[in-house]
Amino acid sequence: MSRPIFNPQLTPLGDLRHLLGIEGLGRPILEEILSTAETLVDSSNGTTRKVPLLRGKTVANLFFENSTRTRTTFELAAKRLSADVLNINVAASATSKGETLLDTLRNLQAMQCDMFVVRHSASGAAHFIAQHVEPHISVINAGDGQHAHPTQALLDMYAIRKFKGDLSQLKVVIIGDLLHSRVARSQIHALNILGVGELVTVGPKTLLPEHFRELGARVEHNLDPALANADVIITLRLQRERMKSASLPGQDEYFQCYGLTQRRLQLASPDAIVMHPGPTNRGVEIEASVADGPQSIILDQVRCGIAVRMAVMSITMGNVERALHENKQ
């Protein structure tokens, strides 16, 4: 009998302890997160309810990379779970004065933090932190380098199911800079785990290498035919800050070839939805009239993010407490 593959995200009971990436997680875990998020939304007005699930817990937001939207939604999610929130200004923290990351973590652990929400420019940073925290602490990856952004992918899955239903019947098209996009990698893993009907990735060859086929997506470089009968269209921001070489055409040329315009949107299914993880570059990857149009659910994605992040935080902390209890018995 083969031994089970060790997954650092899971407790010994097989439950989610950390959320570091989507890859390697089973469908039941993703379904649990999405279902839990649904229970946290007030059906009468679509807002997230405040619940006491993390009362007495302290959540530390460790953002080594700028992000207003993600940090804010994590902070709101933690507060709606009744947790105390500690926002660390990393630019002014001890790490900028020579203290190592591990020293910073040990000091935060001494302050009795229970969860670290981590964004870092280095791929694998959240995994590194998860390897060095005490058993009672959960680590949530809020984006690491070009590697993963699991909660963004999960909130996108929640939004797709909310507006389109069963993923097995859908054609999803992801457009743009997939090479440098941690969001795209997490989206592809999540869509495949949840059984999407058809998944197509589209972009210039310099930003969409052929090896993306190995992730379970069809690779195309011509946008117009790829959009035929699409049910969900996800446009990605050009990751200029992550590019180390001139691998990109000019913005005008890019928009002409890969920008989502009203004309191109008409090639998709009449009820197709348009998504973007933000922030949007209008006139580069998406036309302003499309971003603000009736088929756009970009702002709905932001609203979904609070409920999904609440679900992730409550599930992981609950599983940690259960595992610690089992160890004591």
pLDDT digits (tens, 9 = 90+) for 180-216: 899 999 999 999 999 999 999 999 998 998 888 999 9
Tell me which residue of 149, 170, 283, 176 sits closest to 240, measured CA to CA.
176
Q: How far does Cα 119 stand from its chain's mean position?
A: 11
pTM value > 0.85: yes
Q: Which amino acid type is present at position 262? A: Q
Residue 151: exposure state from Cβ atoms within 10 A (0-12, 13-18, ≥19):
buried
CB atoms within 10 A of CB 308: 30
As a whole number of angstroms, the distance between CA 234 and CA 150 comes to 16
How do residues 267-322 score in pLDDT, each as one tens digit? 999 999 999 998 899 999 999 999 999 999 999 999 999 999 999 999 999 999 99
The residue-averaged pLDDT of 3-7 equals 58
pLDDT at 92: 54
Cβ-proximal residues to 15 (8 Å cutoff; 6+ apart), any chain: 319, 322, 323
Q: What is the CATH number of domain 27-149+305-328?
A: 3.40.50.1370
pLDDT-derived band at 91 (thresholds 50, 70, 90) equals low
State the virtual CA torsion across 103, 109, 113, 115 in degrees, nearest 10. Answer: 70
DSSP at 296: B
Q: What is the CATH number of domain 150-302?
A: 3.40.50.1370
Domains of the chain, by residue range, sit at 27-149+305-328, 150-302
């011509």: which residue's tokens? 222
As a whole number of angstroms, the distance between CA 71 and CA 119 comes to 9
How do residues 229-246 score in pLDDT, each as one tens digit? 999 999 998 866 544 555
Q: What 3 state SS string does 105-159 have? A: HHHHHHCCCCEEEEEECCCCHHHHHHHCCCCCCEEEEEEECCCECHHHHHHHHHH
pLDDT-derived band at 323 (thresholds 50, 70, 90) equals confident
Domain 27-149+305-328 identical in fold to domain 150-302: yes
Cβ-proximal residues to 144 (8 Å cutoff; 6+ apart), any chain: 118, 119, 120, 121, 122, 123, 124, 125, 126, 127, 182
As a whole number of angstroms, the distance between CA 238 and CA 181 comes to 8
Specify which residues 84 forms β-bridges with: 58
pLDDT at 27: 97
pLDDT-derived band at 248 (thresholds 50, 70, 90) equals low
How do residues 145-172 score in pLDDT, each as one tens digit? 989 999 999 999 999 999 999 999 999 9
pLDDT-derived band at 100 (thresholds 50, 70, 90) equals confident
Specify which residues 232 forms β-bridges with: 172, 273
